[in-house]
């Protein structure tokens, strides 16, 4: 499932084509994805202007001039495709089948933005004016926000027996983190993913906050990680997977200079955790 860097990469790719543009035509080619589409989706979107395109955690949000916000989650295999763009033509990968085009927006300049989702685990919804969507209601601070500070994380971690890996994946604690980037940040910080969150000292928590931000920044700069389905809005692959230090590197030598360890994989809460048993403690 795309994590924060992949969703942010998609947002940045769509921004020049959607933000400030009017949606001349909207199509909903099926009644549902993971959940039913709003019955008035086409009516609300047609003719609306996109004021702002933003991201919250792993969600894309397009604020419309009608006081409504379009909410979208890519799910497991969702892709946003840009075709016939005024700022250079992008061409569809033949492997991306048109039968999986579920929501299509055509702007006034002729650019077509398509939500293609082969597995249909994605979702599209509308947030009405004055409402808070239940999927967003309990999210914690963004990793780049001032609210995600060493002091905040120390307070949240205090007394917690849960492993730090599990705590960082809790979207109520910090929004947008997923399995890949938590594994990478913990390796950079030298923290064992099994260590109880409440047993991490203040100095190491402060370092962890910095490493979380750094690994996310590095991944965004690389266009995210393309492991299975992720593509940028232009169709390009992300490249951060070539910079992994622990994720999906089971049995390989640790990349930390001077460390003789080999990467180990364990299961935590049904997910694979990758770490070095020698330099992460």
CA proximity to 14, closest of 54, 41, 43: 54
> Quick check: 175 and 208 in contact, CB under 8 A?
no
How far is CA 281 from its chain centroid? 28
CA proximity to 214, closest of 245, 244, 188, 183: 188
Catalytic residue among 11, 58, 79, 188: 58
CA proximity to 106, closest of 78, 126, 81, 77: 81
* Helix (H) / strand (E) containing 220: helix 202-221
* Helix (H) / strand (E) containing 271: strand 271-275
Active site residue 271: yes
Contacts of 223 (CB under 8 A, 6+ apart): 9, 232, 236, 237, 238, 239, 240
Active site residue 58: yes
Catalytic residue among 2, 38, 143, 163: 2
d(CA 70, CA 98): 22
Active site residues: 2-3, 58, 271
């Amino acid at each position: 499932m795309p994590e924060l860097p992949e969703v942010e990469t998609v947002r940045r790719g769509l921004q020049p084509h959607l933000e400030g543009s009017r949606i001349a035509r909207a199509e909903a080619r099926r009644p549902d994805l993971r959940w039913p589409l709003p019955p008035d989706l086409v009516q609300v979107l047609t003719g609306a202007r996109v004021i702002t395109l933003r991201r919250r955690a792993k969600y894309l949000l397009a604020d419309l001039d009608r006081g409504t916000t379009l909410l979208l989650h890519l799910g497991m295999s969702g892709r946003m495709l840009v075709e016939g763009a005024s700022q250079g033509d992008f061409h569809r990968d033949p492997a991306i089948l048109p039968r999986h085009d579920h929501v299509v927006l055509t702007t006034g300049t002729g650019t077509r933005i398509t939500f293609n989702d082969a597995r249909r685990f994605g979702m599209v919804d509308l947030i009405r004016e004055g409402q808070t969507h239940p999927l967003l209601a309990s999210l914690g601070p963004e990793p780049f926000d001032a609210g995600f500070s060493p002091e905040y994380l120390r307070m949240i971690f205090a007394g917690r027996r849960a492993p730090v890996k599990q705590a960082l994946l809790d979207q109520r604690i910090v929004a947008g983190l997923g399995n890949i980037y938590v594994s990478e940040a913990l390796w950079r910080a030298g923290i064992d993913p099994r260590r109880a969150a409440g047993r991490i000292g203040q100095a190491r928590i402060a370092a962890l906050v910095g490493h979380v931000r750094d690994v996310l920044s590095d991944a965004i700069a690389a266009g995210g990680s393309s492991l299975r389905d992720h593509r940028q809005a232009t169709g390009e692959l992300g490249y951060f997977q070539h910079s992994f230090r622990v994720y999906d590197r089971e049995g390989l030598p640790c990349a930390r200079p001077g460390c003789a360890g080999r990467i180990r994989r364990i299961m935590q809460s049904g997910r694979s955790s990758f770490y070095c048993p020698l330099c992460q403690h």
